[in-house]
Amino acid sequence: MKRELDSLVTQMHSSGVSYEEAVRSFKRQYLREVLVAHKGNQCKAAEELGMHRNTLSRTMAELGLDLADIRAGLKRPPRSERPVFSVYRQGYRQG
């Protein structure tokens, strides 16, 4: 993982990404990952991050993270949009 991080930092530096933007991007992605892991539950995410839920909420607002967008990505698609595995269903019924 250290090599991947080193490579990312090198790419960002050579691309001219400012320090502030690099930190902002990292924070945004890291918080998003923790929130997804906790299915959008801010209390659990804040506990894992070692911060108060209000601080997490404020930081999310500063970074432009929308909890509704995070939760929307976790929902199952409507039944009409789910893939149908008819071969498996037929085999299951016959077997």
- Mean pLDDT of all residues in the chain? 87
Mean pLDDT on 58-83? 83
Query: pLDDT digit string (tens) for 31-56?
Result: 999 999 999 999 999 999 999 999 99
In this prediction, residue 22 has a pLDDT band, given cuts at 50, 70 and 90, of: very high
What's the CA gap between 63 and 27, in Å, rounded?
8
Backbone angles phi, psi at 66, to 5 degrees: -105, 120
Say if residue 56 is exposed, middle or buried (CB neighbours under 10 Å; 0-12, 13-18, 19+): buried
What's the CA gap between 67 and 64, in Å, rounded?
10
**Nearest Cα to 46, choosing from 61, 33, 36, 57?**
57
